[in-house]
Amino acid sequence: MRRINHMLLEMASGNFFYRLKRSKKNDNIEALVITLNMLAEEIQETMLHQGYVNTNKIIRQTVQMSFIIDENGIIQMTNQQTCNILSMLQTDIIDKPFSSFLVKKSQLKWEQSLKVIRQKDFYDTSLDLTFKSKSNLVIPKTCYITTFKNENNTERKTLITIIHHSNSQEELENDLKKRIIQSTKNDSLLTNTSKNVSKKPKVRLSFEDIRKIRAGHDIIINNLEKEFPSLRDFALQLGTNEFKLKYGFKELYGTSVYRFLLNERLRKSKMMIQYSDLPIKSIAHMVGFKSIPHFSRAFKKRYEYTPSDLRKRAQKEDN
């Protein structure tokens, strides 16, 4: 319960990258653990791809944790954010084995990777590792690993970087506003300076159009299990027309309505397979797939492994 309380406090502070470690029990506490993990995953994913995903500078990539490690796997340097996330002082991290801040499964994975690092002059890869904080919350992260040597080319070191992806809604709104204003100025300039202007009408999305399309985005996410209406009917429901819906959705989210719906169904099913014990068949139906073979084919095409393979991997990591 202390770990649950700590995670809730972190989520209240806007930190959604922590996870609670699963147990083998089947009680209300374990059900709460599953729910919190899924909620944190859902919020983190939503923050990553919300709004205008195909515009420039939407995704902010910041170094969340960074380590410099010597040939023996001992930490020589880390950044301040690492201390904040792990809830430790820098003196508690420096000169300690990197593996001591990982859960057991990740310790084995890291030791295997460290052996490969020692054998090669240059090594550049990524590795999924799960860290543990001082309060025993787990933090699954993708680590980018690069080796380098000192100025004298005598000692090999390893740089481990964990990138956090985020965006700022205020920046997105301002960026959109600037692009609309600039587009209007460019159109006016072209009209005044050229007599051979294309007669093909250009679509201009008003802020009201954008609001309606974003409302449609939220409706899709919250109703994945239901049969999706035709684009014409969906557009009428939103108070717009089919053409603006298709054009606007592609402009704002970088993909078609139906492709977005499919990707969201697969993403949610992936999360449920990882963090719950529900049968895969039930999960498929819960995210809107009527045919299990269709679900399996679409899942494998999207992630390059089957739902069953993911479930087996998740069960191994929990044991």
Same fold, 1-49 and 206-319: no
Domain ranges of the chain: 1-49, 60-166, 206-319
pLDDT digit of tens for each residue in the chain (319 aa)?
Answer: 677 766 666 665 455 666 777 777 767 777 777 777 777 766 666 554 444 444 444 445 455 788 889 888 999 988 877 887 787 778 889 999 999 999 988 999 999 988 888 887 777 888 889 898 877 778 888 888 888 776 666 677 888 888 765 544 445 445 545 554 555 555 556 555 544 544 445 567 788 888 888 888 888 888 888 889 999 999 988 889 999 999 989 888 888 999 999 999 998 898 888 888 889 999 999 999 999 999 999 999 998 889 998 888 877 766 6
Quick one: pLDDT at residue 58? Answer: 44
The closest alpha carbon to 53, from 230, 176, 179, belongs to 176
Q: What is the pLDDT of residues 130-179, one digit of tens each?
A: 898 877 778 888 888 888 776 666 677 888 888 765 544 445 445 545 55
DSSP symbol at 65: E
**Burial zone of 166 (CB within 10 Å; 0-12 exposed, 13-18 middle, 19+ buried):** middle
Does domain 206-319 bear CATH number 1.10.10.60? Answer: yes
**Using CA atoms, how far apart are residues 204 and 227, in angstroms rounded to an integer?**
30
207-222 and 231-238 helices, crossing angle to 10°? 120
Architecture of domain 1-49: Orthogonal Bundle (1.10)
Please report the pLDDT score of residue 127 as a whole number.
Answer: 87
**Residue pointed to by tokens 């492994």:** 305
pTM here?
0.49
Q: What is the pLDDT of residue 51?
A: 42
Query: Which residue is associated with the tokens 């498929």?
Result: 284
SS3 state of residue 181:
helix
60-166 falls under which CATH superfamily? PAS domain (3.30.450.20)
